Amino acid sequence: MSEDLSRYHRQMILPGIGEDGQQRLLGSTACVIGCGALGSVIADLLARAGVGHLVIVDRDFIEMTNLQRQTLFDERDVAEAVPKAEAARRRLGKINSDVRVTAIVDDLNRTNIERYASGADVIVDGLDNFEGRYLVNDFCVKHGIAYVYGGAVGTVGAAFAILPHTPGGDAPWETLPDGSRASPCLRCLFEEEPAPGTMPTCDTAGILASAAVTVASFEVAETLKVLTGNYAQVSPTLLNVDLWNSSMSELRVAGAYEHGDCPCCKHGRFEYLEGSRGTGAATLCGRDAVQLTHRQRATALDLPAIAERLRPHGEVRTNRFMLRASLTDNGKPYTLSLFPDGRAIVHGTDEAAVARGVYAKFIGA
């Protein structure tokens, strides 16, 4: 064993890794989208495992309430108002100098994902909203890149490693001698994103740190299998955990591709990547506000139900035309106006990334 690899000895003696697998890890690039509760654990473990290049994309800054679960950060980061991606880069450089970390402080969207994720061997999910996940899913199916999905809120979490069926059918897991290991993609499993306001978020429902750590650990294990070429060991099931109720289940989802009619991996329609689905953002001139427009909303939102969820977090007023909530994020006040068709106006910023962050934290999808 070379001196350079000695720090990875305990990992290299595992079946399926060895020196060849470790060299593959050192030559790999993993793109971690989101560096919060999930992403900070994912980035930490991947750096310690020796993944040679980590690209971390996150639009947010660190606040004191993050420290309960976001393991890469400390109180100094809060005091200095360091962006999460940059704070992660600094911390990971002290953990493993073998690893190159690229920190991208930006809002991931369809105009920049090709630039930021290009060259990645795998994309690992640290996101907090389904629109971002569908965008990543589109990108991964289009380019034949593995996508490790994960989500956690409250005391529950879910994760699934996606080896997508690709338009050309030539991804490495599709051309194995013993047959294809391709899996359903995210839109096979969840055809439509949840309606805004219907899913809990960490900011409205809380989160148990160990739930996030459990899901992130599963994501990292699947990522290491992918990067070392152990596609046969990638789990074919969707993991669901509830740590408060001490329950864990695995759902067999392989049939979702064969029996479904996925617009993405079956028909090659990349609606989120191309912009026909998802959110449009426009700065409202002279109003210090950003309008977020959700395309193709077929049903009206339940504004009274959303209002009940938001009342513990600020003053909320609602009528049949709109909901208006006064909220605080990262110590800054915002007014969120939400309309039945999903359209929203976030007052208090002229930056689309900030507006999307406020919306994702309090409304969700």
The set of catalytic residues is: 202
- C-alpha dihedral sign at 66, 160, 173, 256: negative
Q: Are 137 and 162 in contact (CB under 8 A)?
A: yes
58-83 core/surface letters (b: 16 or more CB in 10 A; e: else): bbbbbbeebeebbbbbeeebbeeebb
Q: Estimate to the nearest angstrom the gap between the alpha carbon of 317 and the chain centroid.
A: 31
Letter for the amino acid at 363? I
The DSSP bridge partners found for residue 247 are 242
Which tokens go with 74? 């400390």
The string of DSSP letters for 53-85 reads EEEEEE--B--GGGGGT-TT--HHHHHTT-BHH
Q: Which of 320, 291, 294 is nearest to 307 (CA)?
A: 320
- C-alpha dihedral sign at 238, 192, 305, 351: positive
Q: Estimate to the nearest angstrom the gap between the alpha carbon of 205 and the chain centroid.
A: 18
CA angle 338, 341, 342 (to 5 degrees): 50
Q: Which of 82, 17, 92 is nearest to 54 (CA)?
A: 92
Secondary structure class of 109 (helix, strand, coil): coil
